[in-house]
Structure 1
Amino acid sequence: MINQLTLIIGANSDIGKALATQIKNVADTGLILISREASNKDKSVNELNVKYIKVKDYLAQSIEMAVAEIAAHSELPISQVFICNGILHSETFQPEKRLEDFDAQAFHQVISANTLTPMLWVQKLTPILTRKSPCKFVVFSARVGSISDNNLGGWYSYRASKAALNMMLKTASIELARRAKNIKLISFHPGTTDTPLSKPFQKNVPPEKLFTSEFVAKQLLSIVENTAIDHTLSYLDWEGKSINW
């Protein structure tokens, strides 16, 4: 019998799917899976414990509609939230190697996907997460969002989007410490994971540093379980180690 829920946003991403696979084996936890694409329902999962929500896009109105559906779905507390989606490159742009590569249109796409969209989810979900039950809220960031760790340069848009995300999450954590003490925000760096996002950049990655989605999901769930609700933002890597801002 389930007594809590886990919400995965970007559930059709490789890591999102891996998280769902791990969590579906937890007897007392139901799943809410959100994606822009039609979900491939796993027939081995008891559908009574899985709610699929398809969104048109990740703009404010669609997010509001999804959150309203979540609120109406169950009275059970949401104990975990994972925002797994983001963008590094597309068919029309790649991460910048030099100043001449910087493009305003590409920057707007990256900042919208990596900074604006996660913060809209934080904003819209907070009212339904604010209760007595603890909730760990994980947003996928990246080590390259660390200003002090930037020794290589390049990747202007992606670095900026993740640094901005970290700042907004830090600011939100200060506010939530006053008005939603049950929520713990975690900014998570998964490492280089074998997914379409990192595929063009895996050539020089040592095999032991290229992780499967399944490995990252297991690491993340362990980190979430062992991270205390301390009313501040944690910026953690796949080992659970803190990253310098």
Structure 2
Amino acid sequence: MEKALIIGASGGIGQAVAGALRARGVAVTGLSRSADGLDVTRESAVEAALGRLDGPYDLILVATGALEINGAQPEKALKHVTAGAMMDQFALNCIGPSLILKHGVRLLPRDRRAVFAALSARVGSIGDNGFGGWYSYRTAKAALNQMIHTAAIELGRSHREAICVALHPGTVRTAFTEKYLARHPSVPPEDAAENLLGVIDGLTPDKTGLFLDWRGKSVPW
């Protein structure tokens, strides 16, 4: 039976992905802050939580993240940027997934295909940014994309069949996005989960290091 590890398994997307995998017969291990006290921004907590697990996992998915942290809304202008809000965004949206990747490498098999995926966001694209604003969130996600791309190069040397990708799930109707949906097209978490798993299922080692959307299309860096 395949095994999957979902970080952020109590969130809208993480919970939906875990449910979809279990429906397939996959053995799913889920970790989250609300259910397990896992604070991904603290390396000691990440090391301890992942150190208790036995791999190998065919899939590790990091579905953590937040658009608002400590009440700080996405900035509409430079005058709204603060050091505190930017550091909070980096801690959760870049450093957290990076620590999971660092301590999760030992849980990936070396002798067969495996996928490490972290949820990113299209607004983290530098090349596809025509609107501006949302400085801290955009910048943290862009940094995450660089971490994933760089780690994929290193993993390719030790785990030749491993695939390391950043995934944009589209606009999903969760507590994460409810204040910002407006009239934007969106999908429920269950649909987003099936879309993401469809992309993951089709990944091959030559796709490692990419930033892909929910259709499997490359997103500009």
Q: TM-score, normalised by structure 1?
A: 0.86
1:87 Cα deviation from its structure 2 partner: 1.3
Name the CA distance, whole Å, in 2 between partners of 1:187 and 1:96: 24
Cα deviation digits, residues 77-112 of structure 1 (max 9, x gap): 311111001011135210000011001101000010
The reply to whether residue 24 of structure 1 matches residue 22 of structure 2 is yes
RMSD: 1.3
> Amino acid of the residue matched to residue 190 of structure 1?
P
The reply to whether residue 230 of structure 1 matches residue 206 of structure 2 is yes
Give the match's secondary structure for 1:95.
Answer: coil
Partner of 1:46 in structure 2?
A: none
Cα deviation digits, residues 185-214 of structure 1 (max 9, x gap): 111001111011111111131xxx211100
> Amino acid of the residue matched to residue 219 of structure 1?
N
Partner of 1:61 in structure 2?
A: 44
Partner of 1:220 in structure 2?
A: 196
**Larger CA deviation: 78-87 vs 179-188:** 179-188
| Paired residues of 1:174 and 1:231 also in contact (CA < 8 A) | no
Name the CA distance, whole Å, in 1 between partners of 2:189 and 2:205: 26
Cα deviation digits, residues 127-181 of structure 1 (max 9, x gap): 2214212111110001111111111000000110011111111111111111222
| Paired residues of 2:69 and 2:89 also in contact (CA < 8 A) | no
Q: Which has the larger radius of gyration?
A: 1
Name the CA distance, whole Å, in 1 between partners of 2:50 and 2:132: 38
Cα deviation digits, residues 11-54 of structure 1 (max 9, x gap): 00011111111111223x2110101113xxxxxxxxxxxxxxx2
Give the match's secondary structure for 2:206.
Answer: coil
The reply to whether residue 103 of structure 1 matches residue 101 of structure 2 is no
Q: 2:34 aligns with which of 7, 29, 37?
A: 37
1:228 Cα deviation from its structure 2 partner: 0.7
- Structure 1 spans left out of the alignment, 5+ residues: 39-53
> Amino acid of the residue matched to residue 102 of structure 2?
Q
Give the match's secondary structure for 1:211.
Answer: coil
Which one has a larger percent strand, Structure 1 or Structure 2? 1
Name the CA distance, whole Å, in 2 between partners of 1:106 and 1:198: 18
| Paired residues of 2:62 and 2:118 also in contact (CA < 8 A) | yes
- Structure 2 spans left out of the alignment, 5+ residues: none
> Amino acid of the residue matched to residue 184 of structure 1?
I
Partner of 1:153 in structure 2?
A: 132
Name the CA distance, whole Å, in 1 between partners of 2:181 and 2:208: 33
4+ residue runs over 4 A deviation? none
Q: TM-score, normalised by structure 2?
A: 0.95
> Amino acid of the residue matched to residue 33 of structure 1?
G
Among the aligned pairs, what percent are the same residue?
Answer: 35
The reply to whether residue 6 of structure 1 matches residue 4 of structure 2 is yes
> Amino acid of the residue matched to residue 21 of structure 2?
I
| Paired residues of 1:55 and 1:66 also in contact (CA < 8 A) | no
The reply to whether residue 240 of structure 1 matches residue 219 of structure 2 is no
> Amino acid of the residue matched to residue 155 of structure 1?
W
Q: 2:151 aligns with which of 154, 158, 172?
A: 172
| Paired residues of 1:87 and 1:197 also in contact (CA < 8 A) | yes
